[in-house]
């Protein structure tokens, strides 16, 4: 027990360290599952990836990690709760829609709140996220308004929760959000509420590969995208799905399943998100399944302290977004999320982007603190704790400018 405790404490000291001189082992040397055999051309690799391997990886995540969501058996209806409300403080327009999901067992509704910049011409790209614990707020909390001390936004007031939202809108982007509780409350209740109740008889136990809460949240994000596609002012071809912490896990899975998301962003998503599980650093599979047994499917519980037995790992989850742009971010003090494991996931996922002739994270480039790196795969580690801040959002906006609008920061 003492050895495990010492190892656990040491992980908090070393897991966030990423140095320019670090060497990175190959996936095989690191004991990670590889995408394809070595020595294939990019053209051949892309052909195999698209024809068979991607579906195999996706199916493994569905079966052994997140669970499989229903593919049918429901109808959707769309209503407008609030047509348009001007928000002078934000220089924005707010709209509220609702997606009604109907099955033979009943109906559930997911409310979508959309903010658009008042001064825009044509349709605008949108960031779509999910919030939790703040459903009663007029404005969703989507990030702390402070930034790195060297950043020009560092003087922003902590008392103003609209700062980050204004920052997004002033850059010409919209922001949409849904409440996770509308989709599936974050409770271990036997999947008796939320959208799960629409598809499962409460007298029947979940099958080992049935969808958990993270998969339900990802499914809900796709339903929100269904609603955004109906808004003429939204450029539905440029919707970025984004999430912090547990919502970052859901965002990565939503991006893997739904190719309509044009960009995928993970902020401090850690275990079951961007961090490599086999490192067993910070939060582990055994711990996350014990504390949040409803997040994943039943099969995933068999891999606590047996991560090596999984046929996939989280670098493969990030790669499922290819060739779409994907961004992973970490925080220096967030050892629980294993910053180095998140970086390595993004680094190894870059291999699949090379199949498409795209550049991800360069093999000779290492992240410096508070500096964004990468091309089609982006990454940064910032100073500070487990949070999403104005500095993070500045990096995401610069990344979106480059890939959505063709601008250079």
| Angle value at C-alpha 54, between 341 and 301, nearest 5 degrees | 55
Burial 110-120 (b: 16+ CB within 10 A, else e): bbbbbbbbeee
If you write DSSP's letter for every residue of 204-231 in order, what string do you get?
Answer: SPPPTTB--HHHHHHHHHHHHHHHHTT-
135 is catalytic: no
Q: Residue 393: in which H helix or E strand, if any?
A: helix 390-404
Q: Is 244 a catalytic residue?
A: no
User: Could you tell me whether strands 377-382 and 326-331 are parallel, antiparallel, or unpaired per DSSP bridges?
Assistant: parallel
| Distance of alpha carbon 314 from alpha carbon 392, whole angstroms | 21
| Cα–Cα distance for residue pair 104/102, rounded to 1 Å | 7
The catalytic residue among 206, 287, 301, 386 is 386
Which of 245, 266, 345, 350 is an active site residue?
Answer: 245
Please report the beta strands in 74-191, taking only residues with DSSP state E, as ranges in sequence order.
75-87, 92-103, 106-117, 124-131, 174-179
The dihedral through the CA atoms of 232, 161, 213, 111 has a sign that is negative
Check: CB of residue 331 under 8 Å from CB of residue 268: yes
CA gap 370, 150 in Å, rounded: 9
The whole-angstrom separation of Cα 338 and Cα 277 is 10
Give the up-direction half-sphere exposure of residue 277: CA atoms within 13 A in the CB hemisphere: 26
| Residues with a known catalytic role | 245, 386
């Amino acid at each position: 027990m003492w050895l495990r405790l010492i190892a656990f404490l040491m992980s908090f000291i070393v897991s966030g360290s990423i140095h320019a001189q670090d060497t990175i082992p190959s996936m095989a040397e690191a004991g990670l599952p590889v995408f394809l055999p070595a020595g294939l051309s990019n053209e051949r690799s892309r052909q195999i990836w698209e024809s068979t391997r991607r579906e195999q990886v996706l199916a493994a995540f569905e079966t052994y990690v997140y669970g499989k969501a229903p593919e049918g058996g429901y109808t959707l209806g769309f209503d407008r709760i609030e047509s348009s409300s001007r928000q002078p403080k934000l220089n924005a327009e707010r709209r509220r829609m609702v997606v009604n999901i109907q099955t033979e067992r009943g109906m559930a509704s997911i409310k979508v709140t959309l903010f658009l910049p008042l001064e825009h011409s044509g349709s605008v790209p949108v960031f779509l996220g999910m919030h939790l614990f703040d459903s009663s707020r007029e404005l969703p909390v989507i990030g702390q308004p402070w930034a790195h001390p060297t950043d020009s936004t560092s003087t922003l007031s902590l008392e103003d929760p609209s700062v980050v939202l204004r920052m997004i809108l002033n850059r010409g982007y919209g922001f949409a959000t849904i409440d996770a509780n509308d989709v599936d409350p974050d409770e271990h209740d036997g999947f008796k509420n939320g959208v799960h109740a629409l598809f499962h008889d409460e007298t029947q136990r979940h099958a080992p590969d049935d969808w958990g809460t993270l998969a339900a949240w990802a499914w809900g994000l796709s339903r929100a995208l269904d609603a955004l596609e109906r808004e003429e002012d939204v450029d539905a071809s440029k919707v970025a799905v984004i999430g912090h912490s547990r919502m970052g896990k859901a965002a990565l899975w939503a991006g893997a399943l739904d190719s309509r998301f044009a960009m995928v962003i993970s902020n401090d998503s850690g275990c079951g998100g961007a961090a490599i599980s086999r490192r067993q650093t910070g939060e582990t599979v055994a711990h996350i399944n014990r504390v949040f047994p409803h997040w994943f499917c039943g099969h995933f519980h068999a891999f606590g302290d047996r991560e090596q037995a999984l046929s996939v790992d989280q670098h493969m989850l990030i790669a499922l977004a290819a060739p779409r742009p994907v961004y992973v971010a970490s925080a220096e003090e967030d050892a629980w999320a294993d910053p180095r494991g998140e970086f390595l996931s993004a680094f190894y996922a870059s291999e699949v982007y090379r199949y498409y002739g795209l550049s991800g994270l360069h093999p000779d480039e290492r992240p410096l603190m508070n500096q964004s790196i990468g091309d089609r795969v982006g990454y940064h580690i910032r100073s500070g704790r487990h949070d999403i801040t104005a500095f993070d959002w500045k990096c995401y906006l610069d990344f979106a400018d480059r890939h959505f609008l063709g601008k250079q920061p």
